[in-house]
Amino acid sequence: MTAPNAAQIADWNGAVGERWAAEQQSLDALIQPFGDAALAAARAAPGEKVLDIGCGCGETSLTLARAVGPSGEVVGVDVSGPMLRVARNRAAGLANISFIEADASQAPLPAGFSLLFSRFGVMFFDQPVEAFTRMGRALAPGARLAFVCWQPAALNPWATVAARAALAAAGLPTPQADPRAPGPFAFADPEYTSGILEQAGFSNIAITPLEAPMRLGASPAEAAQSALKVGPASRIAREAGPDAFPALLQAVEAALTPHASASGEVLLPGRTWVVTANWH
Ligand SMILES: C[S@@+](CC[C@H](N)C(=O)[O-])C[C@H]1O[C@@H](n2cnc3c(N)ncnc32)[C@H](O)[C@@H]1O
């Protein structure tokens, strides 16, 4: 039997994690508005103990560490060795922040956290109810949960425009994946997400839509390069292989061109859910 979350763990320690680590600054800028909304909903206060699930390169862990101050503590948990290397470098010398390299749904976590937080890091579990049940055991009674996740891919053209063009250029069929399979869009249906949290023991669940523009690049050419580095189109580029890359790049640039502003900038909307709840 395959170990839980094996495919995701391999991805985040392979090309996907390496790309996220290399592109940390631009990706943090791209998704900052969504993280800011989740952080505002989380209301981390001085002295709090916070768990940042799927913390990646550590951006939100660092922000949370500033909010909880020297009397508080932030622990970031992630499966990705390459991304945690970036996070640890960024947090060097800070006493109130540490990182655990582990599957958050399987690892024995320390206890007594008052806040469970995540920016786009909780949609990758094979067994989400079990994952949230186990993560809940690390929480103190009455602890809060706050995370942000994507609405359906069909409402997120930043993901679909480039991917559709790349698929067509590569001559690959449209993948028929289960929309709830582990991946960025697994929590797109708020009823499904709310059911998972309820079954795991969370209450007072609120799921609020949040839309913000995403700046994909200063020009269609730049946006196409980025789309083929990270995100759904980049997976297609890897599958198609290096020989197909120039054709994919050209097709993705052409597909993004109608979305460029007068200055050339490519801005497309990102649509997410901000989810909050209480533990028991
Ligand atoms: C889309 S990235 C978001 C990273 C970071 N939160 C950010 O906003 O920049 C998803 C993160 O979830 C992590 N992840 C996926 N499955 C995980 C698991 N089972 N346990 C812990 N982290 C996981 C990945 O390694 C990756 O860092």
Query: Is residue 87 in some structural domain?
Result: yes
Q: Does residue 75 carry a pLDDT above 80?
A: yes
Q: Angle, nearest 10°, between helix axes 220-227 and 157-170?
A: 80
Q: pLDDT averaged over the chain?
A: 96
Query: Is residue 265 in some structural domain?
Result: no
Query: Is residue 79 in some structural domain?
Result: yes
Contact 64, 50 (CB under 8 A): yes
For residue 59, count other CB atoms closer than 10 A to its CB.
23
Contacts from 130-135 at CB under 8 Å and sequence distance 24+?
130/105, 131/104, 131/105, 131/200, 132/196, 132/197, 132/200, 132/201, 132/202, 133/199, 133/200, 133/201, 134/105, 134/106, 134/109, 135/51, 135/53, 135/104, 135/105, 135/109
The DSSP call for residue 85 is H
pLDDT tier at 127, thresholds 50, 70, 90: very high
pLDDT tier at 175, thresholds 50, 70, 90: confident
Query: Is 247 or 175 the better-scoring residue by pLDDT?
Result: 247
Query: Is residue 223 in some structural domain?
Result: no
58 CA from centroid of ligand 1 (Å): 10
What 3-state DSSP class applies to 77? strand
Q: Does residue 1 carry a pLDDT above 70?
A: no
CA angle 215/216/219 to nearest 5° reads 100
Cβ of 120 closer than 6 Å to ligand 1, yes or no, is yes
| Assigned token pair, 69 | 């101050």
For ligand 1, atom 18: residue with the closest CA? 103
Query: Is residue 171 in some structural domain?
Result: no
What 3-state DSSP class applies to 179? coil
Contact 277, 147 (CB under 8 A): no
12 CA from centroid of ligand 1 (Å): 8
Query: Is residue 231 in some structural domain?
Result: no
Query: Is residue 162 in some structural domain?
Result: no
Query: Is residue 47 in some structural domain?
Result: yes
Domain of 183? Answer: 6-152+178-213+271-279
37 CA from centroid of ligand 1 (Å): 18
pTM equals 0.97
Q: How far apart are CA 249 and CA 243, in angstroms?
A: 11
CA angle 64/70/73 to nearest 5° reads 50
Cβ of 63 closer than 6 Å to ligand 1, yes or no, is no
pLDDT tier at 169, thresholds 50, 70, 90: very high
State how many domains the chain has: 1
For range 42-59, the mean pLDDT: 98
Atom of ligand 1 nearest to the CA of 104: 20
For ligand 1, atom 1: residue with the closest CA? 120
Q: What percent of the chain has pLDDT over 70?
A: 100
User: Which CATH number characterizes residue 101's domain?
Assistant: 3.40.50.150
Which of 79, 125, 147, 235 most suits a substitution to test ligand 1, by most atoms within 8 Å of the C-beta? 79
